[in-house]
Amino acid sequence: MWGERSWEREVFLSKKIKKTGTRLIYVFLHLVIKTNLNLNLFEKTLQLKGFPIKEAKKRLQAIQAISEKEYSVYVEKLKKDIVSYHLRESDFYIKFSNLAYFRSWDALPVMTKADLQQPLVERLSHGFSNKNVYVNKTSGSSGHPFVFAKDKFCHAFTWAEIMDRFSWHGIDFNTSLQARFYGIPLDSIGYYKERLKDRLSNRYRFPIFDLSDEKLEQFLKVFSQKPFKYINGYTSAIVLFAKFLKKKNSNLKEVCPTLTCCIVTSEMLYESDKKLMEDTLGIPVYNEYGASELDLIAFENPQGEFVLNSETLFVEILDDNNQPVPNGMPGRIIITSLYNKAHPMIRYDIGDHGVIAKSSTAKKPILEILVGRTNDVAKLPSGKQVPGLTFYYVTKSVIEDDGNVKEFIIEQTKVDCFHITYVADTALTSNEEQRIRKAVVTYLEEGLIVHFKKVSVLDRANRGKLKQFASKI
């Protein structure tokens, strides 16, 4: 399934973990590959984990059936309901908002990522614990990492929304084979978990930690062998692949005729990059904008409209004084999760700026302009090129639930030298620094120099947002 060289890696890793329970993961993975099972287990897997995907899909259909005329009423009711719920059930939100009851929407404070950098147990609503919620960490792409939670219905609803949007382009998560340009954990347990998830989700992963021409040549060979339906992944990684194809004067659609579209995510999509990708991939490219702590935020439809998610989220644009701006005017993107009862995400400042089109309606708001996350590419002494988002996998090893590390940025000052500047209550220990250096070797290569610096505050760009990685070479 993953090619000869990847299989050799799996055999190598399996020898390292024979004495642990992860050996069972390897055995099951080997069985899946050996029998070439095609069980269409994506939704079944969600159900087995306790996420009510069937109920979520039914709720989504019911919401989509609401008329445009009645949609504003639906949204206003959900806004009031979720705030009232957390003012009753969330000690964290009661303290944060300093409100006893819901008075008006404009009276609610804006929540930032820094407000959520405290132990998760202190932020969960009554009746929820780590045992009955979905827990994950943000990527830290903005430099503000934290742990978040969703109740199980909310998490199922997230997947229902994603599946609905991908269906706009003829994609079925159970049957459409995905070419996935993403990172992957390189520790044994994390590696196998992701490989299993890929198999059960009908995905083939192209790890983006090495995007040298030699590796991209291997990627191209895989495309000639597998009936991929679509490409999904980090914008910068796919752009590098597109540049490689251009240099070879190759068209990917001719190599893999089953491809129908490419969906990019996690980083800004510029028109010049989109044109390059469409020319070299030979398929249309669509943009996705989302946040793991929330949901899919906006998704490009076949008509080229960047449609905001008005079904599970409420998106508003505010000025620097937290006042709403009219459609057509720029401002900060503020988002409310209308269905997350486990953890309040109310008027949450995601750290991006944008413009909602004047032609928007309550049911179909259009994100006309997005000024969001961008990541440079790191070029290494060996000639490897890796997207800046690789550093998510490097730094997550010390992003713990205690909220010690508040912010961080990484700068490449020389081809072999990186500086990690961070804000924290206490300095990283020598063991923590060593863990990061070890992760740099694992995900990048040996021989790199890493410097650490603890500061009280980080310099910011004009928009007040941190750029997690920047190359100065």
Q: The CATH number of the domain where 202 resides is what?
A: 3.40.50
Q: Measured on CA atoms in the order 54, 57, 63, 67, is the torsion positive or negative?
A: negative
Phi/psi at 383 (nearest 5 deg)? Answer: 105, -10
Stronger pLDDT, 420 or 463, i.e. the higher one:
420
Instruction: Give residue 11's pLDDT.
Output: 38
Residue 242 tokens read as 């597109």
Over range 310-318, report the average pLDDT: 97
Residue 42 domain-assigned (yes or no): no
| Mean pLDDT within 354-358 | 96
Residue in this structure with the two tokens 């300095």, named with its chain if needed: 427
Q: Which amino acid is at 247?
A: K
> Are 29 and 174 in a shared domain?
yes
CATH of the domain at 424: 3.30.300.30
Sheet hosting strand 313-318, strand order edge to edge: 313-318, 330-337, 348-356, 367-371
Average pLDDT over residues 391-414: 76
- Phi and psi at residue 308, in whole multiples of 5°? -75, 150
What is the tally of structural domains in the chain?
Answer: 3
Nearest-CA neighbor of 421 among 381, 469, 462, 386?
Answer: 469
Whether 75 shows a pLDDT value over 90: the answer reads yes
Which pLDDT score, from 0 to 100, does residue 66 have?
97
Decide: 295 and 277 in contact? Cβ < 8 Å. Answer: no
Residues 267 and 240: beta-carbon distance below 8 Å: no
Segment 304-312 shows an average pLDDT of: 97
Q: How confident is the model at residue 16 (pLDDT cuts 50, 70, 90)?
A: very low
Residue 362 and residue 393 share a domain? no
> How high is the pLDDT of residue 187?
76
CA neighbor of 390 nearest in space, from 460, 439, 333: 439
More confident residue, 78 or 117: 78
Q: State mean pLDDT over 120-132.
A: 95
Reported confidence tier of residue 464, pLDDT bands at 50, 70, 90: very low
Distance between CA atoms of residues 348 and 135, nearest Å: 18
pLDDT-based confidence at 460, cuts 50/70/90?
low
- pLDDT value at position 14? 41
Establish if 44 belongs to a structural domain. no
Question: Are residues 345 and 386 both part of a single domain?
Answer: no
| 141: pLDDT strictly greater than 70 | no
pLDDT category of residue 45 using cuts at 50, 70 and 90: confident
Stated pTM of the model:
0.80
Which of 329, 348, 371 terminates a domain? The answer is 371
Kindly state whether residues 385 and 367 are assigned to the same domain. Answer: no
- Give me the domain span that covers residue 121: 53-160+301-371
- 62 with 89, same domain: the answer is yes
pLDDT tens per residue across span 182-215: 888 777 787 888 888 888 788 999 988 888 889 9
pLDDT score at 195: 84
Q: What is the pLDDT of residue 139?
A: 67
Read off the amino acid at residue 212.
Answer: S
Domain assignment of residue 398, yes or no: yes
In angstroms, how far is CA 52 from the centroid of its own chain?
22
Distance between CA 76 and CA 105 in Å, rounded? Answer: 9
Residues 57 and 78 in one domain: yes
